[in-house]
Amino acid sequence: MSKIEMTVNGKTVAGEAEDRTLLVNFLRDNLGLTGTHVGCDTSQCGCCTIHLNGDAIKSCTMLAIQAEGADIVTIEGMAKGEKLHPVQQAFTECHGLQCGFCTPGMIMTSAAILKQTPNPTEHDIVKGLHGNLCRCTGYVNIVKSVKRAAEIINSGA
Amino acid sequence: MYALNYQRAKSLDEAVKLLGAEPEAKLMAGGQTLIPTLKARLAQPSHLIDLARVAELKGIEVKDGVLIIGAMSKHYEVMTSAVVQKAIPGLANMASLIGDLQVRNMGTMGGSIANNDPAADYPAGVLAHNVTIVTNKREIKADDYFQGMFATALEEGEIIIKLLWPLPKKSAYSKFEHPASGYAMAGTCIAQLADGSVRVGVTGAGSSGAFRWTEAEEALAKSFSLKALEGLKVDPETCLGDLHAPPEYRAHLVGVMAKRALEKML
Ligand SMILES: Cc1cc2nc3c(=O)[nH]c(=O)nc-3n(C[C@H](O)[C@H](O)[C@H](O)COP(=O)(O)OP(=O)(O)OC[C@H]3O[C@@H](n4cnc5c(N)ncnc54)[C@H](O)[C@@H]3O)c2cc1C
Ligand code: FES
Ligand code: FES
């Protein structure tokens, strides 16, 4: 067991974990941040996506101890108080979720896509979400949501 | 995952030392192949040596007609680097086709080349561009490096430091993605090197990993045209066959990908 320290959603946090503990388990079990989901054990579904020093990564494919000292944002850190993040707002407006299991990962990846590509084409969105699977297959509304999120962000709202 | 000890190397020297200290120690780069392997309990290293903070393995620059890429360069860095985009645009494009956004933010060129997955993209580029692989022990030519599926010339205790990509006149890659995994069912990279010679690297299709398609190289050396590729076909006997694509189909795809890559160069 080692003591692992990192910044999560703006706060410095620490926890004891084994070296083999995956970052996603550290977030969920040690920190109680259960918004980050685990949808597979093959690094393919993207439900566990978080931002590590600003980049979208799969937290099931990284050890917690690798993230020592890192700056992490999870789905819980996206809204500002009562005000949803534009991507969350857009998913709500466009019905971008059905069961919601894939949604935290979809939102984290979408936010990363929009940072790199503020005006994405449909192709950019589909390519960007390649590593996120929706078992409800609600992709049409997910793509709509990302387009809508771009509008909200670009309008400065 | 089995229990293990994590160690973070702060320099190349320290990584070499740590690797030599434990017989079952393993290097970790981006972890995008290694961690899934550990999760599936397909490997049981006693120690993991994280290379993420080893400065000697980082950096991308052009020097004396060679694009030098540090082993720890992430796919995302290769894809977006202005230096790579200018020096070898086909390589930046290749990096953009690897895995997905999240994998590209972690996975590295050194890790991909060390792993030598038969469906990985970089091996086709390394063969086509006649890349030299620099390790802590020696320099290895692309033609001597790949030794079959998941097998390379790397020895115990050997760490890839950087890859030397001689600047080609032009080059391009085309990949037929597996619709679910995104790995190459067949990927063909064509490079016309500075001396005018042509090399063709193929991934995804070969039953012993990435290979050079010498018939296509000879044909393109005579005439650098789509016509030169007409009627040329990789021998299906040498191709992978599985649930997703039988050998005949993969052999066919190699030719189609070659034409698509060439079209980008004409
Ligand atoms: C969902 C998914 C999709 C993917 N799709 C693709 C794809 O389409 N195309 C593709 O090419 N790849 C794909 N990959 C693999 C990805 O590119 C990996 O990043 C890459 O194969 C391994 O790089 P890594 O840095 O993650 O290495 P790691 O996983 O950390 O290491 C891999 C191996 O290399 C060794 N190693 C690492 N660095 C060094 C070094 N410097 N010297 C010596 N040995 C070293 C390690 O010990 C280990 O055995 C995919 C992976 C995932 C999870
Ligand atoms: S849980 Fe991380 S990719 Fe599926
Ligand atoms: S909404 Fe159910 S998995 Fe995507």
Residue-wise burial string across B4-25, b where 16 or more C-beta atoms lie within 10 A, e elsewhere: bebbbbeebeebbebbeeeeeb
Q: In chain A, which residues have their Cβ closer than 8 Å to the Cβ of B35?
A: 22, 43, 61-63
CA of A98 to the centre of ligand 3 (A): 5
Residue A145: pLDDT over 90: yes
Q: Which secondary structure element, helix H or strand E, spans residue B155, and what is its range? A: none
Residue B115 contacts residue B154 (beta carbons within 8 Å): no
Min Cα–Cα distance to chain B from A99, Å? 22
A57 → closest Cβ in B36, B40, B105: B105
- Please give the pLDDT value at position A143: 98
The arithmetic mean of pLDDT across residues B164-192, rounded, is 96
B203, B120 Cβ separation under 8 angstroms? yes
Residue B179 pLDDT exceeds 90: no
Give residue limits of the domains in chain B.
Answer: 5-50, 58-265
- Could you write out the DSSP letters of every residue in B190-255? EEE-TTS-EEEEEESSBBTB-EE-HHHHHHHHH--SHHHHTT----GGGB---SS--HHHHHHHHH
Specify the pLDDT at position A122: 97
User: Which top CATH class is B58-265?
Assistant: alpha beta
User: What interface predicted TM-score (ipTM) does this complex get?
Assistant: 0.96
Residues of B with CB under 8 A from a CB of A: 1-6, 8, 31-32, 35-36, 38-40, 48, 50, 52, 76, 99-103, 105-106, 181-182
Average pLDDT over residues A42-67: 98
The CATH class, in words, for B5-50 is alpha beta
Range B97-107 average pLDDT: 98
* Chain A residues bordering chain B (beta-carbon distance below 8 Å): 2, 18-20, 22, 41-44, 46, 49, 52, 55-58, 60-63, 65-66, 68, 109, 112-113, 128, 130-132
Residue B96: pLDDT above 90? yes
CB contact under 8 A, A58 and B48: no
* Interval A68-76 mean pLDDT: 98
Strands B184-192 and B170-177: antiparallel
Please state, as a whole number, how many other Cβ atoms lie within 10 Å of the Cβ of residue A125: 23
pLDDT recorded at residue A1: 86
Q: Cα(A147)–Cα(A154) distance, rounded to whole angstroms?
A: 11
Longest dimension (CA), chain A: 48
Q: Which domains are present in chain A?
A: 2-77 (3.10.20.30), 86-155 (1.10.150.120)
- The owner of tokens 């706060």 is A11
Closest CA to A59 of A105, A1, A103, A15: A105
The tens digit of pLDDT for each residue in B182-226 reads: 999 999 999 999 999 999 999 999 999 999 999 999 999 999 999
The pLDDT of residue A148 is 98
Instruction: For residue B193, give every residue at least 6 positions away whose Cβ sits within 8 Å of its Cβ, in sequence order, or none.
Output: B129, B130, B166, B168, B169, B199
Inter-chain contact B1–A109, Cβ cutoff 8 Å? no
Q: How confident is the model at residue A157 (pLDDT cuts 50, 70, 90)?
A: low
Q: List CB contacts (< 8 A) between B5 and chain A.
A: 19
Name the 3-class secondary structure at B69: strand
Using the structure block, give the residue that is written with the tokens 């190349």: B12
Q: Are B253 and B186 in contact (CB under 8 A)?
A: yes
pLDDT digits (tens, 9 = 90+) for B17-75: 999 999 999 999 999 999 999 999 999 999 999 999 999 999 999 999 999 999 999 99
Choose the residue to mutate in B8, B42, B103 for probing ligand 1, maximizing ligand atoms within 8 Å of C-beta.
B103
Q: How far apart are CA A125 and CA A131, in angstroms?
A: 11
Pocket of ligand 3, beta carbon within 6 A:
A 97-103, 134-136, 138
State how beta strands A49-52 and A71-73 pair.
antiparallel
Decide: B29 in ligand 1 pocket, CB within 6 A.
yes
Tell me: pLDDT of B13 over 90. yes
Helix (H, G, I), strand (E, B) or coil at A115: helix
pLDDT of residue B247: 97
Strand bridging mode A55-58 / A49-52: antiparallel
Which atom of ligand 2 is least distant from the CA of A58?
A: 2
Task: Give me the phi and psi of B6, to 5 degrees please.
Answer: -95, 135
